[in-house]
Amino acid sequence: MPSGTASIPFQVRRHVPLHRKIVNLAAAAVDVAAAALAAPTAPLTVPDDVLALRRAACAGCEYHDPAGNLGLGECKHQACGCTGAKLHLAALHCPLDPPKWDCYLPPQPL
């Protein structure tokens, strides 16, 4: 079997390259900005109970590395690569298919 990352499937490489993280971060920033413009009164961040559920989903994921990003934790999937900052933002969802967690929509008052 050849050595190096060429033989490893793109989604499961042990390292998300910095340029990929920058692209993913820019896309996430656009998603958050678009959601804020579309619904200015919607919350930017998720409540603590939703954050706990998202953290638990990531902790049990095969792509999660708790020691990655200097101990902050890291998703090793090439479409993500985050330190967990995305977990806090309501407009974002897990990039896996199917996602481990989805965008947060606050309950509507009756």
The dihedral region occupied by 97, where left means phi > 0, alpha psi between -120 and 50, and beta the remainder, is beta
Q: What are the residues whose beta carbons fall under 8 Å from the beta carbon of 34, sequence distance 6 or more?
A: 91
Are 86 and 25 within 8 A, CB to CB?
A: no
71 part of a folded domain: yes
Query: What b-and-e string marks burial along 75-97, b requiring 16 or more CB atoms within 10 Å of the CB?
Result: bbbbbbbbebebbebbbbbbbbe
Residue 100 pLDDT more than 70? yes
64 part of a folded domain: yes
74 part of a folded domain: yes
95 part of a folded domain: no
39 part of a folded domain: yes
pLDDT at 83: 81
Separation of alpha carbons 89 and 101, rounded Å: 12
pTM for the full predicted model = 0.79
**Could you report the per-residue pLDDT of 15-64, keeping only the tens digit for each?**
788 888 899 889 999 999 999 999 999 999 999 999 999 999 999 999 99
80 part of a folded domain: yes
Domain enclosing residue 44, as ranges: 8-88
35 part of a folded domain: yes
Amino acid at 18: L
Q: How many domains would you assign to the chain? A: 1
pLDDT at 107: 86
Separation of alpha carbons 75 and 82, rounded Å: 6
